[in-house]
Structure 1
Amino acid sequence: MKTTGNTILITGGTSGIGRALAEALHDRTNTVIVTGRRQALLDEITAARPRMVGLPLDLDDPASLARLVALVSERFPTLNVLVANAGISRTEDMTAPGWDGTNAEAIVATNILGVLHVTAAFLPLLKQRKNATIMATSSALAFVPRADFPTYCASKAFLHSWLTSLRHQLRTIPIEVLELSPPYVQTELTGAQQASDPRAMALNEYVVQVMDLLDRGDHFRGELLLERDKPRRWAERDGSFDSVFAALNPG
């Protein structure tokens, strides 16, 4: 993926990694469209960067996605990069009385079905472009899970497998398929405390490293993975899965 001269749409672009990535790409002279559910945040982002475009999108509403596709096709027909970043994370205690899978269903709807639906919706437009890219946000937890976030980790493992197949199927079109696999980063994904957790990687530092990987084309098998996360990525292969899992899940 080239990092300049693109027209880029980023879902979940109003906060966290999505917003930071949108701002970094915007500063590289790309046309960047961010989407999200909260109009106030879209207004805030576009006020700070007037050339950035904010458009509403509720991935739980098929009509909302259809409106977005129609609008983008009309106003931004040169769209060549889709970043499917929207995602949610919640803890789940499956031993608790009354556990019913409600949170799991919400995570699957956003993290899995949301990515599938937005990709399907924009794929016809991307097929018409040269230098097209689809990037989806997975997680380093796709490879060794945190047991207190079971469905979140499983949703990212699903994306890793699905993106591998998508990459293979699109190899002759061609559309580049990239997987962004962040570590624990200072965002509000799991709540306000994560944004200031000293154990988490600073958001700006993470995005700087991602942009460096993109600049250098350093994404083996399409995976944008920091050096610090490679032991977790290859834990199963290297025979260290049990020790890495135990470190993530004490007790």
Structure 2
Amino acid sequence: MNQVVAVMPVFNPTPSFLEDFHPLYAQNFAHFIIINDGSAAKYSAVFETLQRLPNVVVLTHEKRLGKGAAVKTACSYLTRFLKNCQGVLFIGAYGQHKQEDVTRMLHVSRIYNDGIILGVRNFRARELPAFSRLGNSFVTMIFELRCRKRITDVQTGLRYIPMAHIPWIARIPSHDFDVDVYMLMEAVKQQIPIYEVTIGKALMKKNTFIQYDEAFRFRHMAKRIWRYRYMEE
């Protein structure tokens, strides 16, 4: 068993959720933390099934608070109960991250454990709509102008964080999807190394993670990057 903890924020899991989850669970994480971010009551059976699995912890928000809040809940649990783990791998809940992607991330984390590792998506895939490719390029450009650093995929939800960085990530002033970008802005400011690992192509699924995780709200995200006020030391 490795010393990495998996964290997966979930809002209204898809019908294929459990099927997608089990190959990821098979990676033998030290613990697998599921954040139920206010999912509808009809999904209760899914979370009850997860709770019965060894080393799985389900933390529940009574109502939807947003991905940023889910990240904060996970960070709070980690610092309280699992502070001796090596690091944390955040994984998307809607089938966008495959077993081979997670395996690659875990392998790289054993080599580069001094910084944040991003699983960057392929935005050049032909089947991806042109507006998505252009939108990602736009957000990347705004991030580079603001932070003086180029990152291929600032919104990816697949990312490895060494445990030493979890306390400051818990303080990021966001309760929404922009937590992923703000996390990187703070990391650049603190001169924390950021590594990129190429994973599968960027998936587009209506009514799934576009609405919650790895959002393709490019104009809105660009505004938030430009207006973000850094945390105090």
Q: Same fold (TM over 0.5)?
A: no
Q: Tell me the TM-score normalised to structure 2 length.
A: 0.40
Higher share of residues assigned strand: 2
Higher share of residues assigned helix: 1
